Amino acid sequence: MRKGILLVNLGTPDSPAVADVRKYLAEFLMDERVIDIHPFLRLLLVRGIIVPFRGPRSAKLYGQIWNSQTGSPLKYYSRLQQQLLQAELGEDYVVELGMRYQTPSIEAALNKLLAAGVDSIHVIPLFPQYASATTGSVMAEVMRLLSRWVVIPQLTLAGAFYGHPMFIQAFAANISRYDLSDFDHILFSFHGLPVRQLQSSYHNGHHCGQEGCCDRLTPQNQHCYTAQCHETARLIAQEISLKATDYTVCFQSRLGKQKWIRPYTSSVIRDLAASGKKRVLVVCPAFVADCLETIQEIAAECREEFIQAGGSDLLLVESLNDSPLFIRMLREISEVPKGHLWA
Ligand SMILES: C=CC1=C(C)c2cc3[nH]c(cc4nc(cc5[nH]c(cc1n2)c(C)c5CCC(=O)O)C(CCC(=O)O)=C4C)c(C)c3C=C
Ligand SMILES: [Fe+2]
Ligand SMILES: [Fe+2]
């Protein structure tokens, strides 16, 4: 019997047209794990304010990263990762791709696995660090959909891979394409989260959210998004022999007025320029594929901000995209531990 692998990434609009971007934002932001407030307030905020006003602005940004041949970079690289993993795993496996929002949907991907006759499904959310808004939401959606099936296959869910040696080596390999002596500072910029979402993630006797409480991963905070981001940065830095003073961990992509994890990438960039740093290299290890948040926010907007503040240049390290080391990591975590299957 063949084993099913379901890769899941966040999702992207079907096109950069305002209507498609609004549809995407509405589905994404109506997720109770993404905007975790009272459902009525969420409806008012998302449908009444964010979608109408942010839609046209985001559509313009998507228009700038859209490739006329291959479309959305996030979808293109996620498909490539699916195809490369399928080639790596061979005929005993069927690898499908689902997006948490928009297309291809998780439901369509699960139905393809069902039609292929797989006897087990292993889900790999393509987020290195755990957040309720991403990995948690993917897991909840897969379980919701499968709970309607009459015959529910053996289901396994892969957790966060923020410290997997091959993931760390894959980013280190991409960074080593640059001559580090050419740069004054390295930034590890992760997608941010509202601090309130960390405060509600009580786990193992630990409450997150105080300033600096999760700058290091410990046995108590190992499920904390912030702590996992810091650990990823520490391991990559160690792999490429950076000193603690050579790099800064920061958080990008804020939405709304509430407090998000600090320091903010935009403030760090301004401070670096003010302190005389001229050339900065940015690594974004919360993303395994280049997307709006890397190509547009970092390589375009942050670069311009840095230059306007007095810097000379700011470059983005490519994400893992078709990295052979990353595909090997996916192969390794695709193999269900022995003892779970008798077939
Ligand atoms: C890497 C993990 C991600 C986390 C954690 C995350 C949390 C999060 N995001 C928003 C709001 C938006 N994110 C947007 C784009 C976007 N976000 C991620 C990943 C994470 N988000 C990716 C990969 C992308 C890019 C998708 C693409 O098509 O390329 C957007 C849409 C773009 C925009 O309008 O800015 C929004 C909105 C929240 C609120 C949140 C946590 C609560
Ligand atoms: Fe996001
Ligand atoms: Fe924490």
Q: Is 292 in the pocket of ligand 1 (CB under 6 A)?
A: yes
Contact 187, 273 (CB under 8 A): no
Please say if the pLDDT value at position 164 is more than 70. yes
Residues 259, 11, 38: CA angle, nearest 5 degrees: 45
Cα–Cα distance measured from residue 113 to residue 201, given in angstroms and rounded to the nearest whole number: 33
Q: Which atom of ligand 1 is nearest to the CA of 292?
A: 29
- DSSP code of 123? E
| For residues 284-291, average pLDDT | 98
What rounded mean pLDDT belongs to the chain?
94
| For residues 264-281, average pLDDT | 97
What's residue 212's pLDDT? 72
What's residue 211's pLDDT? 66
* Residue 191 φ then ψ, to 5°: -60, 140
Please say if the pLDDT value at position 92 is more than 60. yes
Q: pLDDT by residue (tens digit) across 130-154?
A: 999 999 999 999 999 999 999 999 9
What's residue 282's pLDDT? 98
What's residue 59's pLDDT? 98
From the CA of 102, the nearest ligand is 1
- Give the model's confidence band at 201: pLDDT under 50 very low, under 70 low, under 90 confident, else very high: low
Residue 291 CA, ligand 2 centroid: distance in Å = 10
Q: pLDDT by residue (tens digit) across 289-343?
A: 999 999 999 999 999 999 999 999 999 999 999 999 999 999 999 986 554 444 4
ipTM score here? 0.96
Please say if the pLDDT value at position 84 is more than 80. yes
Q: Which residue's CA is minimally distant from atom 11 of ligand 1?
A: 255
Q: What is the CA radius of gyration of the chain?
A: 20
Please say if the pLDDT value at position 19 is more than 70. yes
Tell me the domains of the chain and their CATH numbers: 3-161+325-334 (3.40.50.1400), 178-316 (3.40.50.1400)
Please say if the pLDDT value at position 163 is more than 90. yes
| Bridge partners, residue 120, by sequence | 3, 154
What's residue 339's pLDDT? 47
Q: Is 198 in the pocket of ligand 1 (CB under 6 A)?
A: no
- Best residue among 191, 266, 283, 319 to mutate for probing ligand 1's pocket (most ligand atoms within 8 Å of CB) is 191
Cα–Cα distance measured from residue 286 to residue 194, given in angstroms and rounded to the nearest whole number: 16
Q: Which residue's CA is minimally distant from atom 18 of ligand 1?
A: 10
Residue 90 CA, ligand 2 centroid: distance in Å = 33
Q: pLDDT by residue (tens digit) across 178-193?
A: 999 999 999 999 999 9
| For residues 192-198, average pLDDT | 90
What's residue 245's pLDDT? 96
Q: Is 296 in the pocket of ligand 1 (CB under 6 A)?
A: no
Q: Is 122 annotated as a binding residue?
A: no
